[in-house]
Amino acid sequence: MNRAVLILDAIVRQQDHSDAILKAWVSPKRNPLRKAIHEARKDLPEISKFLATDKNSGAKMSCEALFGELSDFWSEAASKRLESHVVRDMVSAYYPAACALKMGDRMRDVFEGARKVVETWAPDSE
């Protein structure tokens, strides 16, 4: 789910301008969501916990709380309110494609596929 959230965030917040490969782009130094939350957003604890969790640690999280925070965060950047159920549906719809990505995939191609999901679920947010 991590990849799906990171990529969709870049589309929704119009931070989808990289031509790096996926492996480099997901790093904390380059990824827009990780940078934004780490640098300035202490008011989003579920997103912070989600980003800090080691994927092998088995940490327990509330997905609904995460989607609620993403809803608030993404709505700040979108031209309309993105309700938490819309965020959940976007992540669910994009998750299979995100899992199929290879670490060497170019972000311009990754973003192209993800934009279709955002256009379907939140057409006015680009």
In tens digits, the chain (126 residues) has pLDDT values of 889 999 999 999 999 989 899 999 998 778 899 888 876 667 888 888 888 865 656 667 788 999 999 999 999 887 778 899 999 999 999 999 999 999 999 999 999 999 999 988 776 644
Q: Reduced to 3 states, what is the DSSP secondary structure of residue 33?
A: helix
User: What's this model's pTM, rounded to 2 decimal places?
Assistant: 0.88
Q: Reduced to 3 states, what is the DSSP secondary structure of residue 85?
A: helix
Which tokens sit at 102?
Answer: 């290879």
Tell me the C-alpha distance between 115 and 63, whole Å: 22
Helices (H) and strands (E) in the chain, counts: 7, 0
